[in-house]
Chain A
């Protein structure tokens, strides 16, 4: 296989990991803020 596949594959994988982690951070923060501001709603959900 072409070396470019391995080189750019490495960078693409790293970028994908960072995007997934950042989306996870955003969703967790959103959910945590929601649970503080609307505790009864989050309790019902749980």
Chain B
């Protein structure tokens, strides 16, 4: 079975090493295209002026912050059900990038909020739940590293990943469930886009670029974790010689 084959650290290490450069290349190429559309081709917004161009970073980073937590929850299920070694490593590999994406979403949101809303921060539902997401990521990182036994650390991090994932739909629907200063969803699957097509395309391309970046970083970090954990294994010394 393909899944079980690549769940072994040895096979994962090899496969991830082959895939990683392609994800880096895709991330660089799509970022260049997305930034060109966002910063050069997209017209100035009629009401917000130039500052709206923050969306080409802010929205994709916010999407990634939620998506990466769901991916961690998926690996948590794999770990808790099938007890695969790689799942715990992937949770540890994804969490720092998820935390960085959340921080980028929060900081760029604040920098966008000051000129458009008149304030850097408000304790509204969207912003507060996104801040909670950052604390959840930090909690997963801290919990995984606080326990000396890596396997027990993996399981603790997996449980927090799984429990914390309930926050993701709350973040997404917060702008519908409560009256928030934060505007509604930028893109919806059920309604037509409210922004110019060029702006939307730039945002979607940047979203895919950050996704490719996150995969490349997670694969790189996971390979380092394999090196750290399997360092006494003969196959690894042979591979690195």
* Chain A residues packing against B (C-beta within 8 Å): 1, 3-4, 6-7, 9-11, 13-14, 17-18, 21, 24-25, 28-29, 32-33, 35-37, 39
Give the shortest distance, in Å, between A32 (CB) and chain B (any CB): 4
Q: Give complex CA distance A3, B54 in Å.
A: 11
CB pair B240–A10 under 8 Å, yes or no, is: no
The main secondary structure of chain B at its interface with chain A is: helix
Contact (Cβ within 8 A) B220 A25:
yes
Task: List residues of B whose CB falls within 8 A of some A CB.
Answer: 49-51, 53-54, 57-58, 61, 96-97, 100, 103-104, 107-108, 111-112, 114-115, 213, 217, 220-221, 223-225, 227-228, 231-232, 236-237, 240-241
> Which of B53, B221, B223 touches A7 (beta carbons < 8 Å)?
B53
The secondary-structure label for the interface of chain A is helix
* Chain B residue with Cβ nearest A29: B224
In the bound complex, CA of A14 to CA of B54 (Å): 11
User: What are 26 of the A-B contact pairs (CB < 8 Å)?
Assistant: A3-B49, A3-B115, A4-B50, A6-B51, A6-B114, A7-B111, A10-B54, A10-B58, A11-B57, A13-B104, A13-B107, A13-B111, A14-B104, A18-B213, A21-B97, A24-B96, A25-B221, A28-B221, A29-B223, A32-B227, A35-B227, A36-B227, A36-B231, A36-B236, A36-B240, A39-B231
| B47 → A minimal CB distance (Å) | 12
